[in-house]
Structure 1
Amino acid sequence: MITKTEIRSFRRVSLGSALRIAAPCLALSLAAIDSGEAASLTARGNEPGWHIEVSESAITFRAMDGENFTIEPVPQPTTANAVAIYAATVGGRPFTLSLADEVCADTMTGMQHPKTATVVIGDRRLTGCGGEPAALLRGDWRIEEIGGTAIVAGSEPTLTFEPDGRIHGNGSCNRFIGSFSLSGEGLKFSPAGASMMACDQPLMDQEHTLLKAFEAIHRFEVGPEGRLRLIGDKGGTLVSLRK
């Protein structure tokens, strides 16, 4: 955790420096906010466009072709092989919503979500993604590569994504803080703020490279092996991390 002493030591420096202070009021994307209260789960798909929301009281389905309905109360799901299945009857047709714990990429935006969703209504089958993308980022990560180069031996740069949209970690020498936002356009980091300790030059150089990389992040990908890739607008991996 960042101490109050460290936070007080943060200084504003020039825009050209990697050690830039974060704004005191962090602009947070709704996708990055977790209120801690019971929340609904949303899933959606494309071609045709559809949207489904599962709350504590109802399942609500809407499609671009005009088919809309609500199921209430919410049927008790069955779970097998990390797949939750809600089953009901709608207008005399069997209905199922399956939510698998498998990373799913939106077919239009490429944004990844933590669940793969399948909706079956009679003989109609729709596929899409469910859950909030921010859930894939949350937690503590160890940085393994920066710009395709392995980290300096013995160094331990880290990055933590908090539920409220904050980020913090160890840049290699100094602690840093900032925020992130997620939208249909991808992942963005705010300018980071950091403490001002001095370390050996290889660590200082690595920290500078890392914080500059944060400025250019455009999107993210979580691979099947669990590695997180922070990707720039030109498609290259800027930072590679593992929990």
Structure 2
Amino acid sequence: MVRLVDQAGPIRWRLCRLAGWPVVLLLAGLGTACIPQARAPMPSETGDAGWAAYQCDGQTVRARAGEDQAELVLDGRAKSLPRVRSASGARYAATQPPRIEFWNKGDQAVLVVADETRECRRLDGPARPFSARGHEPGWALALAEGRLTLDWQYGEKTLARPLGPFKATRRGWRYAETTGHGDLTLALDETICHDSATGVPHPMTVDIVVGDTRLQGCGGRPENLLSGPPWRVEDLNERGVIDRSMLTLEFATDGTLAGLAGCNRYHGAYAVTGEGLSTGSFAATRKACAPALMNQEARFLETLQAVVRFSFSETGALVLETAQGNRILARR
């Protein structure tokens, strides 16, 4: 124990709580004072007022609309759009190519990218059911059917209660309420998180504070990082790909993996496991092409069938890797 001394004698201290946070209580003579202990700020804790999240034909878009301009986060990139005249609602549009427009109408919105128009609806939180977990100490979070369940300290402590409202942030979601275990705060950020035990990537980084305990880990379904628009292969086993040849990867939510192999179309299955990514054998059409294309196609399918893990490069490229170290690199 640290002993503090002033002219009146030793200063005694103990831990107390103030608004759910651990504090130091100083006892000096007849005076007392609660002094909050310093803590690191929660992710997305400051500068995130006014954000809203929308689902625009399968794509999540975040927007903060102001009187003169709107901030838009689209495909992980931030855009600033000035406000333009509109008959109804608040409309914002880029002044230079590429064409981007966002027309805010409360719980509904319209997003225009190039010549594609997407109808949007406002979201009230992360897609449910949602689960997250972390290690050392072990914990697990589940959001489903209007309830929040949190186990921590390897199951020794449990919290279960009705789920309240979320607030959107620039990068994800924030949730806060007071519980019997103290103040509870969840920060769910849409940044790729690698499980500290398995290395498997997840779509969300999760930071939880419950009482005076902080829990950090990963959340969301890893499959969500793969599914969506097709991936186009840029490199095969560090040998590039033949100019103007088309190799693609289309991960469906039902576990189907299909695409173009350079000459023929292929289809098969994939699964994200606790240890990584597994694929089965692939069937393909039987069209004949130039020998170079056929050789590349054979190497591509052979490598794809041997994939055991996936990750993402610093620039956002998808990397599929075999146990022998062969790699497929693809981008959207």
Q: TM-score, normalised by structure 1?
A: 0.81
Provide the rounded CA distance (Å) in 2 between the counterparts of 1:172 and 1:49: 45
What displacement does 1:83 show? 2.6
Q: Percent identity?
A: 35
Moved segments of 4+, more than 6 Å: none
Distance 1:92 1:44 in 2: 19
Q: Decide which of 264, 289, 295 is 1:205's aligned counterpart.
A: 295
Distance in 2 (alpha carbons) for counterparts of 1:153 and 1:105: 34
Q: 1:192 aligns with which of 249, 267, 282?
A: 282
Determine if the alignment matches structure 1 residue 120 to structure 2 residue 209: yes
The change in CA–CA distance for 1:159 and 1:65 in structure 2 (over 3 A counts) is closer
**Paired position in structure 2 for 1:23:** none
Q: Deviations over 1:135-190 (max 9, x none)?
A: 00112100111111110011111110001000111100000000001111210111
Q: Does 1:109 align with 2:198?
A: yes
Asked if the contact 2:303–2:326 (Cα under 8 Å) also holds between the matched residues in 1, the reply is no
Aligned pair 1:54/2:143, yes or no?
yes
Aligned length: 204
Tell me what 2:270 maps to.
180
- 40-49 or 50-59: which moved more? 50-59
Could you list the per-position Cα deviations for residues 79-138 of structure 1 after superposition, in whole angstroms to 9, with x for gaps in the alignment?
Answer: 222130111111151101110000000000000000000110111101000000000011
Alignment correspondent of 2:331: 242
1:81 aligns with 170
Residue type matched to 2:180 in 1? G
Structure 1: which 5+ runs fail to align? 1-37
Of residues 284, 307, 314, the one that matches 1:224 is 314
Contact 1:136 1:222 in 2 (8 A): no
* Structure 1 partner of 2:248: 158
1:214-239 Cα distance to aligned partner (Å, 9 max, x none)? 121110002232200001114x2520
Partner of 1:145: 235
SS at match of 1:212: helix
Identify which of structures 1 and 2 has the higher relative contact order when contacts are C-alpha pairs closer than 8 Å and 6+ apart: 1
**Which has a greater percent of helix?**
1
Instruction: State the shift of 1:56 in Å.
Output: 3.7
| 1:135 to 2:224 alignment | yes
For the pair 1:42 / 2:131, whether they are aligned, the reply is: yes
- Point out where structure 2 has 5 or more consecutive residues left out of the alignment: 1-126
Residue 183 (structure 2) pairs with residue 91 (structure 1)? no
Which protein has the larger Cα radius of gyration, Structure 1 or Structure 2? 2
User: Which structure's residues are more often strand, by fraction?
Assistant: 2
Q: In angstroms, what is the RMSD of aligned CA positions?
A: 1.2
Query: CA 1:92–1:44 in 2, change beyond 3 Å: closer, same or farther?
Result: closer
Give me the TM-score of the superposition, normalised by structure 2.
Answer: 0.60
- SS of 1:44 mapped into structure 2: strand
**1:25-65 superposed Cα distances (whole Å, 9 cap, x missing partner):** xxxxxxxxxxxxx7410000001110000124111011215
How far, CA to CA, are the matches of 1:165 and 1:238 in structure 2?
21
Q: Residues of 1 paired with 2:171 and 2:265: CA distance?
A: 37
Deviates more, 1:53-62 or 1:170-179: 53-62
Judge conservation of contact 1:48–1:65 (CA < 8 Å) in 2.
Answer: no
Check the 8 A contact 2:263/2:289 in 1, yes or no.
Answer: yes
- Helix, strand or coil at the partner of 2:300: helix
Letter in 2 for 1:210: F
Whichever residue aligns with residue 98 of structure 1, its letter is A
With 93-102 and 48-57 compared, the bigger mean Cα shift is at: 48-57
